[in-house]
Amino acid sequence: MTSSLERLRDTNRRSITSLLAAEGPMSRADLVRGTGLSRTTVSSLVGDLISTGHVVETTDRGRPHKGGSGRPPLLVALSTPAGGVAGVDIGHGHVRVAVADRVGTVLAEETAEVDVDEDGAVALDRAARMVRQALQAAGLELSDLHAVGMCVPAPLDRRSASIRTGILPGWRELTPGDELHRRLGVPVFADNDANLGALAELGQGAARGSSDLVYVKVASGLGAGIVLGGRLHRGASGIAGELGHVQVDEDGQVCRCGNRGCLETLVSAPRLLALLQPAYDVPLSIERILALDDDGDAGVRRVLSDAGRAVGRALADLCNNLNPELVVVGGSLGASTSLGEGIRAAVDRFAQPDTAAALTVVSGDLGDRAEVVGAVSLAIARVSV
């Protein structure tokens, strides 16, 4: 029993330090709202963290006091220990690395185009080199690096830390976190891209102040990160939120996961590009599609709206079960107005009326940096307690 209670306190301490890392100095009341923990629990855990030197009380009252007149509350902030952390975002076609101090200020960041899917070892070698280069640019040594948060574009089994499906064919024999740890010699904590996108938008983006939300990443694949009560919900084996692999057509196209007719086969960015390209004389890219959407191009708006309705139909069922207050649309297509409108329309049509009425659909604030920001936050949360 004691062990279980201590594990729960450790988890709750990480919730507090993760929120402070993402949000900066906060009052105890804000921590209660942001974590979903009780006022008594927050007070006790903050006391523990102050006594161990992980957080400090500060007289910096830079935030406006919401109460209007009167003395603003004393704030709690992460202490600023020496050294840094790194975030590594491995996408299907890129590696992005950020090095930050231990309160989350990014000191150096770089991105490279890499064929990630076919050869995991090569991608991990490149990621390790980029971490070293970013450390040098930030004026830090490898010995100053305390932890790395790592994002991979596939579901991870919580029990084995391995990739569960054939989504990354060149990674079948690899455990991503262990492999990067072997290359760098520092602790590495891995999670999937949608989960870390949700963590980033919760702490620094469009979902600040929310406690129940779904982050939907629409890019080369489709996934969702679920936050309940201010905490990521990963599920029993770590694959909660695999929205892209909801079957929508049992006789449909074979998906890279091995099933048929998955939602991802209809709405991923490569699929939408393939649908649109025959109607245009110039090569299309995601950036070009977004620009055409903003300009009101009829073909692009129709295709993106239809894709949004397909995503929203699957989201409606999820929202009926979870009753979130917010859906944040991220990924390379997250900024599309037509996609967001399609999602909103389908949720309104297929979700329970009260569920739909309580829900807001917004585009993410962090764009394609969401995952690396979430990876930095993950590293800070794991090294802070």
206-364 is a CATH 3.30.420.40 domain: yes
pLDDT, tens only, 14-24 = 888 888 877 78
Within a 10 A sphere around the Cβ of 43, how many other Cβ atoms?
A: 13
* Helix pair 176-184, 120-137: axis angle to 10 deg: 50
Is there a common fold for 84-196+370-383 and 206-364? yes
Distant-in-sequence, close-in-space partners of 266: CB < 8 Å, separation ≥ 6: 248, 249, 252, 307, 310
In residues, how long is the chain? Answer: 385
Compute the distance between CA of residue 251 and CA of residue 249 in angstroms, rounded to an integer.
Answer: 5
Q: Which of 95-99, 258-262, 268-272, 279-283 has the lowest mean pLDDT?
A: 258-262
Q: What is the pLDDT of residue 62?
A: 45
**Across residues 240-255, what is the average pLDDT?**
90
What pLDDT is stored for residue 11 in this prediction?
86
pLDDT at 71 over 80: no
Q: Which of 313, 64, 264, 11 is nearest to 154 (CA)?
A: 264
Per-residue pLDDT at 39 = 93
Percentage of residues in the chain having pLDDT higher than 70? 94
- Between CA 207 and CA 216, with CA 213 as vertex, the angle to 5 degrees is 90
Please say if the pLDDT value at position 279 is more than 70. Answer: yes
Compute φ and ψ for 95, nearest 5 degrees. Answer: -125, 125
CATH code for 84-196+370-383?
A: 3.30.420.40
CA–CA separation, 298 and 170 (whole Å): 39
Question: What backbone torsions phi and psi does residue 76 show, to the nearest 5 degrees?
Answer: -110, 135
Identify the pLDDT of residue 54. 84
pLDDT for the residue 70: 57
As a whole number, mean pLDDT of residues 266-287 equals 95
> Could you give the CA distance from residue 25 to residue 56 in angstroms, rounded to a whole number?
9
- What are the domain boundaries of the chain? 2-78, 84-196+370-383, 206-364
Residue 159 has pLDDT above 70, yes or no: yes
Residue 81 tokens, joined: 């220990």
- The answer to whether the Cα torsion of 74, 75, 76, 77 is positive or negative is negative
Query: What is the average pLDDT across 359-364?
Result: 97
pLDDT tier, 63 (very low <50, low <70, confident <90, very high otherwise): very low
Q: Name the pLDDT band for 2 (thresholds 50, 70, 90).
A: low
Helices 337-350 and 286-294 pack at an angle, to 10 degrees, of 70
Token couple for 64: 């406006």
Name the more confident of 33 and 158. 33
Give the domain 2-78 fold.
Answer: Arc Repressor Mutant, subunit A (1.10.10)
Question: If you average pLDDT over every residue of the chain, what do you get?
Answer: 90
For residues 197 and 362, is the Cβ–Cβ distance under 8 A?
no
The 3 state secondary structure assigned to the chain is CHHHHHHHHHHHHHHHHHHHHHHCCECHHHHHHHHCCCHHHHHHHHHHHHHCCCEEEECCCCCCCCCCCCCCCCEEEECCCCCEEEEEEECCCEEEEEEEECCCCEEEEEEEECCCCCCHHHHHHHHHHHHHHHHHHCCCCHHHEEEEEEEECCCECCCCCCECCCCCHHHCCCCHHHHHHHHHCCCEEEEEHHHHHHHHHHHHCCCCCCCCEEEEEECCCEEEEEEECCEEECCCCCCCCCHHHCECCCCCCECCCCCECECHHHHCHHHHHHHHHHHCCCCCCHHHHHHHHHCCCHHHHHHHHHHHHHHHHHHHHHHHHHCCCEEEEECCCCCCHHHHHHHHHHHHHHCCHHHHHCCEEEECCCHHHHHHHHHHHHHHHHHCC
pLDDT score recorded for residue 330: 96
Query: Is residue 53 scored above 90 in pLDDT?
Result: no
- Residue 321 and residue 64: Cα distance in Å, rounded? 36
User: What pLDDT is recorded for position 129?
Assistant: 97
Q: Which residues pair with 233 in a beta bridge?
A: 226
Strand-strand pairing, 222-228 and 231-233: antiparallel
